[in-house]
Amino acid sequence: MNCRLKSVFYVVAGVMLCLLLAISRDAGISGDEEVHARQAEYVYEWYASAGQDTRALDTPETHLRYYGQSPDNIACILTRWLRIDDIYLFRHLFSSFLGWLAIFITARFACWLRGYGAGLWVLLLFAVSPRFMGHLQNNLKDVPFALACIACVYYTLKLESLRFRPVWRDAAMLAAGLAFALSIRAGGLLMYCYLLLAVAVHFAIRFRRDGRIALSDMRQAAYTVGGTVVAGYIGGMLLWPYALQNPLMNVWESYCIMAHFPTLLRQIFEGSFVWSDLLPRHYLPKYMLLTIPAAVFAGLLLFCIFCKKITASSHFRYAFIAFSAVFPVAFVLLLHSNLYGGWRHFIFVYPSLVLLSAVGFHELFRRVRRRAFQLGAGIMLGLMMVHPLRFMIQAHPYYYLYYNELAGGLKGAYRHYETDYYYHTMRSGAEWLRNELKQNNTGTAVIGSNFNISWYFRDMPTLEHRYFQYAYRHDVDWDYAVVGNSYISPAQLLHFPPAEVIHSVEVDGVPVCVVLKRRSKLPVQATDAIHRHDYRMAAECYEKALIFYPDDDYLHLQYGKCLTLLGDSVAAADATARSIALNPASAAAWYLSGRLKAGRHDLSGAVRDWEQALNADPRFSAARIALADGLAGTYKDK
């Protein structure tokens, strides 16, 4: 039976690898991928120039010198050496392979704990985990980090089971895991702490049980663990230029920067548009609750039910695995760190959760032998897997957009939580537009987008590409635009897609990416007029543009600003009111409304509007200053 299960296990794992590599060929470029690929090029040049090219160390905007990002660097080295032109296809294949390794190591971990049956459960639960499978295709940071972390937990426990004797194969694998974790991001230091914690608890348990610890045992553990830690630390810096400048202080500085990452983003959470450092503490656990498949939660519940029997002879192993899943989440909740992008930064805890869930299912079917019960449990499990499987089939390859039944699926989460926050779906929109332009023999055009899509048009060099934020898209001159449903406020999503849409990419009935064709360039002319301080011309352009774009709150606001500067406060107040009606979360509109009321000596009304502006955006400094002056009775319109 064991031989048969072993064969099935390796066949299933092999088939999964082939499928994942095939799926990754359809993956889009992820949100951070371009900047990390560019940083990898800088790292390559730093080594190639013997440190003369210092661009890898000068990253004030991206902060990427603080990342080891070894998977990106390895991918760059291989594409350079193998002369690969389609670098993103190769990156996605490489990412999928590393993701499969994370799954395989977790499954092997389960085999070591409970046999090949448990390993098969791991493979099955990962197969119905859309968020992990979606990131696996193109996320060369978080998924490889998950691989490194689960490998460290696995080989730490293997060494602990051998009383930290110098078993060099396992020690070498642990050192490789430690090096890989640190080489991706400085948070890999956590794995070193896990190892030292395992050593401390191991000897504490032995001392409590035996009343003594042999000095020879402690000495050999010190040699094994010390050598592993040193080797892992040195290996972790080999592809990390900034760490090599000062192997102690720079690694610690990088960890501190990562723990309080300076980049701030506004994102949708619970129907509000919130800055990432102002999110409530329950942001992370709630996102996990709404996006992890029900089957995984069911397995975790079963693990808790069978916990005493499962852990009877190995309390420490399962406690350590559970600790590796729970501690990082609890720690970041305690710190109230800056978080964004759902729980992708915490994908590294997911293999431990899947492992415990798989053990729970394994124990249920191993201990409860009645066929009727097993059949019923199997049917229930199958029903729980229908929702994520159906979504992956319908949403291919954009699995990471998944929300479970608690959220009402993606459709239920729309306008309450972010959808395509990592810009995966931009590929579909860009490729549709590329084919459309080729069919119409459009050789020259300006393509706008809220994420760089020039790679998809690399065979059309005469096209020009321009970036914009969605809300301010009319300020930029473009003929066609590709817009991902990313970081757009819930109020603006009420009018999404906008009127000029010519193609929409939909998942579960939700528009996740749209292609637009410019109806009028009057807003661009208005913007140019503002730059020339010709506010009358700008107002005329905006007035005409609103015929084409009556539901655009930003254009109403800009029209109101121009009218204010022209001294027509009544018309300005009317335009601003229309802007607020379309987007009640526009801090700029509430601020202007307050200014206009203050100009009419309605200071109490102005104060209320400025308070609304700060409710919409607590970082709107002009409204905060105006409110303070208004409350003090010293406000003067500047």
- Asked, for residue 284, whether it belongs to a domain, the answer is yes
Does pLDDT of 369 surpass 80? Answer: no
For residues 603 and 628, state if they share a domain: yes
Domain end call among 467, 484, 517: 517
Domain end call among 517, 551, 567: 517
145: Cβ contacts below 8 Å, ≥ 6 apart: 181, 184, 185, 187, 188, 347, 348
For residues 340 and 477, state if they share a domain: no
For residues 305 and 387, state if they share a domain: yes
Does pLDDT of 308 surpass 90? Answer: no
- Asked, for residue 638, whether it belongs to a domain, the answer is no
For residues 117 and 60, state if they share a domain: yes
For residues 230 and 116, state if they share a domain: yes
Phi-psi region of 211 (alpha: psi -120 to 50; beta: other; left: phi over 0): left
- Asked, for residue 474, whether it belongs to a domain, the answer is yes
Check residues 313 and 373 and name the one with the higher pLDDT: 373
- Asked, for residue 408, whether it belongs to a domain, the answer is no
Helix (H) or strand (E) holding 502: strand 501-507
- Asked, for residue 401, whether it belongs to a domain, the answer is no
For residues 575 and 623, state if they share a domain: yes
Q: At what angle do helices 522-531 and 535-548 cross, to 10 degrees?
A: 160
Longest dimension (CA), the chain: 89
Tell me which residue range forms the domain holding 492.
426-517
Domain end call among 485, 517, 549: 517
Does pLDDT of 513 surpass 80? Answer: yes
- Cα distance between residue 15 and residue 96, in whole Å: 13
For residues 513 and 543, state if they share a domain: no
State pLDDT tens for residues 55-64. 999 998 888 9
- Asked, for residue 459, whether it belongs to a domain, the answer is yes
For residues 16 and 109, state if they share a domain: yes
Q: Which of 358, 292, 366, 364 is nearest to 106 (CA)?
A: 358
Average pLDDT value for residue range 430-448: 93
387: Cβ contacts below 8 Å, ≥ 6 apart: 293, 294, 404, 405, 409
Does pLDDT of 375 surpass 90? Answer: no
Counting the structural domains of the chain, the total is: 3
Write the CATH number for 551.
1.25.40.10
For residues 30 and 59, state if they share a domain: yes
Average pLDDT value for residue range 223-250: 95
For residues 120 and 230, state if they share a domain: yes
Average pLDDT across the chain, whole number: 93
For residues 36 and 93, state if they share a domain: yes
Per-residue pLDDT band for 206 (boundaries 50, 70, 90) equals confident
- Cα distance between residue 567 and residue 556, in whole Å: 16
Percent of the chain with pLDDT strictly greater than 90 = 82
Write down the pTM of the prediction.
0.94
Average pLDDT value for residue range 604-622: 93
State pLDDT tens for residues 24-44. 999 999 999 999 999 999 999
Average pLDDT value for residue range 123-142: 97
- Tokens 């900047």 sit at which residue? 35
Check residues 194 and 637 and name the one with the higher pLDDT: 194
- Asked, for residue 419, whether it belongs to a domain, the answer is no
What are the structure tokens assigned to 241, written together? 């230029």
Q: Which of 56, 53, 91, 54 is nearest to 75 (CA)?
A: 91
By mean pLDDT, which of 116-130, 347-361, 364-378 is the weakest?
364-378
Average pLDDT value for residue range 204-215: 85
For residues 356 and 229, state if they share a domain: yes
Per-residue pLDDT band for 312 (boundaries 50, 70, 90) equals low
- Asked, for residue 415, whether it belongs to a domain, the answer is no
